[in-house]
Amino acid sequence: MGKQIKGFSKFTKEEKIDWVIEKYFADDQKEARKTLEQYWNDNKDLQKIHDEFIENTLTNYYLPFGIAPNFKINNRIYALPMAIEESSVVAAAAKAASFWFDRGGFTAKVKSMTKVGHVHFVYYGDYDKLWGWFQTVKDRFFRDTEDITKNMRARGGGIEDIVLINKNYEEPNYYQLKATFNTVDSMGANFINTCLEQFAQTLQNEMMESDVFSPKEADIQIIMSILSNYTPECLVRAEVECPVEFMAVDGMEAGEFVQKFERAVHVARIEPYRATTHNKGIMNGIDAVVIATGNDFRAIEAAAHTYAARTGQYRSLTDCEIKNGTFRFWIEIPLALGTVGGLTTLHPMVKFAHKLLGNPNAEELMKIIAVSGLAQNFGALRALTTTGIQQGHMKMHLLNVLNKLGATEDEKEYFKNFFRDKVPHYSTIVSEFERLRSPKGK
């Protein structure tokens, strides 16, 4: 067993690299060092920004940053920034955007912007007594956070409400202060958590000072104070619609396509195995823009999947209907996003992405990102219900395989033609590559 390393975070970057290389790459020190150093940025100031995002930074980890143009959303045209490693995602987004560009584009609407946080606590007294007392001191919670909320209120946000919730039936003596917030254009995590920690203090102090409670009752235990990443009331809806007759695709007649498409969506509404993959495809589009715009994709993922399971069964985030000769396809998804604070002012590529989108506010960004998810899902279902997914997928993946094999530019060109009308399976690529490189193939 190895010894624990102490004080690692205090090492300089060079010392950290020396340590990791000696310990884990003893057989190949030069190569390992080169791998890390080749991703350092020559611009020292820029590198410093990245070094300081997290602790123990050794180097940078690149993702491709691409754009998907032609997104018509509420009659405005956007090029979406996408940071993602999966080969076919940007191509699928761009294709879906073009398809809907000619059919009226996407419409999107923010339904609500409310975020939530809780003080989770234990109280050993009578609930009615606590409830009655809470109503008389509720104002105090707003007053004690006035300094914290001042700037947010000036921007039109702040604390919306604070309520007491009895969870005693599910966990003995467990209660919550549930607070709702409007954080306007910031994601608001720090703001919410700071307010909640003050609420916990106020709760403890006020109960201690009140003569309503006995000393034992007043001695509550604060379990924790934290925002919830489940934001079902920070909700956006995006949608497309079009007369069925204009929905012929990839050699398939319009009526047959929309019917198969609708069935595919309904399968994902009732079958969790399919719903998971269906929603994964939606998140391909959502996460790529979330990451490009410097937002927290883990928070977005967590909320999306809880929302997908809100009926007690995990279901598709999108839905579809064919009525009176019209095809309609939509998504409703919670998206707690920020367009100010966080990485938005720090990361040059994040700034670039916001500028590319016309510096949207949080509501606009919610609409754009919901559309990105809907478009991605449309692209996936279109492929799945017509040509199959592998055709487009493997065509994009072909380049990855060829790069892995060390193909030259001429060879890449040859393979593009070779697979023009067939699906490039991995084994076929490799065997054709070997044949081409063999003395006979030349």
Site residues, ligand MEV (CB under 6 A): 86, 277-278, 280-281, 284, 380, 384, 389
The C-alpha atoms of residue 388 and residue 426 are separated, in whole angstroms, by: 16
Residues 140/260, Cβ–Cβ less than 8 Å: no
CA distance readout (Å), 266 to 259, 278, 293, 354, 381: 11, 11, 32, 35, 12
**Nearer to ligand MEV among residue 17 and residue 384 (C-beta):** 384
Q: Is 118 one of the annotated active-site residues of the chain?
A: no
**Nearer to ligand MEV among residue 371 and residue 389 (C-beta):** 389
**Nearer to ligand MEV among residue 192 and residue 374 (C-beta):** 374
Q: Is 138 one of the annotated active-site residues of the chain?
A: no
Residues 343/294, Cβ–Cβ less than 8 Å: yes
Q: Is 37 one of the annotated active-site residues of the chain?
A: no
**Closest distance of CB 92 from ligand MEV, Å:** 8
Other beta carbons within 10 angstroms of residue 441's beta carbon come to 10
Active-site annotation holder among 280, 305, 416, 425: 280
Active-site annotation holder among 197, 239, 262, 296: 296
The C-alpha atoms of residue 261 and residue 328 are separated, in whole angstroms, by: 11
**Nearer to ligand MEV among residue 93 and residue 389 (C-beta):** 389
Which residue is associated with the tokens 């590198």?
47
The first and second tokens of residue 173, run together, are 């003596």
Residue nearest to ligand MEV as judged by C-beta position: 281
Which residue is associated with the tokens 């307010």?
195
The first and second tokens of residue 312, run together, are 């007690």
**Closest distance of CB 293 from ligand MEV, Å:** 20
**Closest distance of CB 369 from ligand MEV, Å:** 17
**Closest distance of CB 322 from ligand MEV, Å:** 19
According to DSSP, residue 241 is labeled E
Q: What residues contact 394, with CB distance under 8 A and at least 6 apart?
A: 423, 424, 425, 426
3-state secondary structure 194-220: HHHHHHHHHHHHHHHHCCCCCHHHHCC
Active-site annotation holder among 118, 393, 395, 397: 393
**Nearer to ligand MEV among residue 315 and residue 354 (C-beta):** 315
**Closest distance of CB 91 from ligand MEV, Å:** 12
**Closest distance of CB 93 from ligand MEV, Å:** 12
The C-alpha atoms of residue 349 and residue 82 are separated, in whole angstroms, by: 11
Q: Is 393 one of the annotated active-site residues of the chain?
A: yes
User: Annotated catalytic sites, by residue?
Assistant: 86, 280, 296, 393
